[in-house]
Amino acid sequence: MTESTDEDVRWLNERETQTWLDVWSLMVWLPSRLDAQLRAEVGLSHAEYNALSQMSMAPDRTIRLSELAAVSNMTLSHLSRVITRLEKAGWVTRSPDPADGRYTLGSLTAAGWEKIVDAAPGHVETVRRYVFDTLTPQQAEALGEAAAKIVAALSPPGMMRA
């Protein structure tokens, strides 16, 4: 590994440093607040809610679990544990993909649909309280534009969109 000199490093200026610290805090604290609300109100972890939510937006409420792992940024083993909990609760079923048996599909059951419909209002209210209610409409629009550019630079697998 080569040692870099100060001339090689594009250090953050004071404003960039503060912005980065705010983004870092947002990445750390917002998920924990969302998780706490979901656990308290509907008994779901944020990861479980995300899996149910992604399935609810997929065609026929069914998605390949490998695709769900990718869009959720979960390892297959972590997703497997999440899906097992959701399956035991009766909210999800697993089945071989008829198009390619090497893949497993996760499907939202009717009870799973009811669970996500029940969980969504409180989750949305928490997102609204911590994000959108703190911003003007112009700031919310700027945040959306900035976040989209950052997401594009990260090149994550495509997420389901409402």
> For 93-138, how does the pLDDT look when each residue is reduced to its tens digit (9 = 90+)?
999 999 999 999 999 999 999 999 999 999 999 999 999 999 999 9
pLDDT computed for residue 1 by the predictor = 59
| pLDDT band for position 2 (cuts 50, 70, 90) | low
pLDDT computed for residue 42 by the predictor = 97
pLDDT computed for residue 65 by the predictor = 96
pLDDT computed for residue 162 by the predictor = 43
Q: Where are the alpha helices (DSSP H) in 14-136?
A: 14-42, 46-57, 65-72, 76-88, 110-130
Residue type at 75 in one-letter notation: T
Cβ pair 115, 52 in contact under 8 A: yes
pLDDT at residue 34 tops 50 = yes
Tens digits of per-residue pLDDT, 47-60? 999 999 999 999 99
Give percent of the chain above pLDDT 90: 86
Mean pLDDT of the 26-49 span = 96
Residue ranges of domains in the chain, CATH in brackets: 31-154 (1.10.10.10)
* Cα distance between residue 111 and residue 95, in whole Å: 17
Residue type at 144 in one-letter notation: G
pLDDT computed for residue 76 by the predictor = 92
Q: What number of other Cβ atoms are within 10 A of residue 11's Cβ?
A: 7
Mean pLDDT of the 77-106 span = 96
Mean pLDDT of the 30-46 span = 97
